[in-house]
Amino acid sequence: MASLICMRIAPLIFLFASPASAWEFFPTPVCTLTETNDAGTMTVTFDARIPEYTITITLADAKWPNVPSFAMAFAGNRPIGIQTDRHLLSTDGRSLTVKDTGFGNVLNGLEFNMRAYATAGSKTVGFDLGNIGPEISAFRNCPDANLA
């Protein structure tokens, strides 16, 4: 009997002992998609009033190097790589932000792949995209709701 109870409880222990990571979507005050893991947080926003997209990667306990370019690589079913020199670092160096009026490649990279890697100089941070499905769909549909 005791072994039967252990067999039923053991998977629950592993489930709750694993770090829970889940993308979250918030429609207000601007459309926001966010994910946090041990390395940091990725936040994607869209403000329909401007209109402007941003992506910010904030490191948990490190600083981004001050380098001339920033890149993202998306690995999975539809791999894509993008690069820019129009990124900004926060004053403390922990957050890196890119702003633009079009984010099609970023949104497609997030939606159709399994991993995202943000790289500046020698610093790379990865994010799991396996559970982004409903949240990326809500994010893509959000601008219409916020224009009213």
Residue pLDDT, tens place only, 36-69:
999 999 999 999 888 999 999 999 999 999 999 9
Please give the helix or strand (H or E) that residue 58 lies within, else none: strand 52-59
**Residue 47 falls inside a structural domain:** yes
SS3 139: helix
**Residue 43 falls inside a structural domain:** yes
**Residue 2 falls inside a structural domain:** no
Mean pLDDT for 98-105 is: 94
Mean pLDDT for 85-103 is: 97
Range of the domain at 127: 21-147
> CA dihedral in degrees (66, 127, 51, 80; nearest 10)?
90
**Residue 87 falls inside a structural domain:** yes
Q: Which two tokens stand for residue 69?
A: 């370019």
CB atoms within 10 A of CB 62: 12
**Residue 35 falls inside a structural domain:** yes
